[in-house]
Structure 1
């Protein structure tokens, strides 16, 4: 019951996140915190507080690594390639899928974002290297897809 309810709440939060990011170009901190909190409560209820704290630590590590990569990219290119909301969403995602699931989430998110950019191009919308495309909806989709993949494996 807790596992199902938490997945439903996560799905609703991901849809809400995608809607906000597509409309406003921002992922609210409270929504990232909600996603992390639901994952933390779910893990605590299903496996206990020790594994829940371990997943929280994985989220912090992922957040720090991705923030560092964001900072290095900015120093190198003088252009922000990833928003802080995306960094925080990846940290919150790690609470759900662990460090091991993040590369797959990024692969799925990047592939679907690339497909969306291709569809934009096919529909005659201008797409350049400076075209902004909110990445949050694709990260949210990737998170849900990895959860499904992990449950089947």
Structure 2
């Protein structure tokens, strides 16, 4: 039986992911308060389970992931002259790293990308026009990828 802290923190994370996915689909934005909730819940959970030093290390990993993804976002904009990823998505990836660490982010991105591609394919099959300029909020797919990566980590299938 899972301990109450794990249950509570995963419940808060799950609710935050559903809430941010709904807002991103509706408004095309991920509120900072939800990204902060994801990160803060991860830090508190890590501190309670392993101590403040590992929690601080995970927070640093989140900052590094955020900086790297922000840099990639900036380079893509310089190259293509359009935004490929919103700042809310960058912040969500940074907050996610607090939960899954740097090692879990590639799995999160793979799951998010594959499911977003499947959604775009379903849109195309349903006769909706899908072009290179079609905006598809990525937050819901990142949230799904985060939750899936946590499950895979807990089962020992990824680091």
Give the shorter-chain TM-score range. Answer: over 0.9
Q: Following superposition of structure 1 onto structure 2, how do residues 53-68 of structure 1 map, counting pairs within 5 Å?
A: 53-68=56-71
Q: Distance in 2 between matches of 1:79 and 1:5?
A: 40
Task: Say whether 1:85 aligns with 2:85.
Answer: no
Q: What stretches of structure 2 of length at least 5 have no aligned partner?
A: none
Q: Distance in 1 between matches of 2:17 and 2:33?
A: 13
Q: Name segments (4+ residues, structure 1) moved above 4 Å.
A: none
Q: Distance in 2 between matches of 1:96 and 1:89?
A: 11
User: 1:144: which partner in 2?
Assistant: 147
Among residues 133, 136, 144, which one is paired with 2:136 in the alignment? Answer: 133
User: 2:15: which partner in 1?
Assistant: 12
User: 1:97: which partner in 2?
Assistant: 100
Q: What stretches of structure 1 of length at least 5 have no aligned partner?
A: none
Task: Say whether 1:109 aligns with 2:94.
Answer: no
CA RMSD in angstroms comes to: 0.3
TM-score by length of 2: 0.96
Q: Distance in 2 between matches of 1:27 and 1:12?
A: 14
For residues 115-139 of structure 1, the C-alpha deviation after alignment (integer angstroms, 9 at most, x for no partner) is 0000000000000000000000000
SS in 2 for 1:98: helix
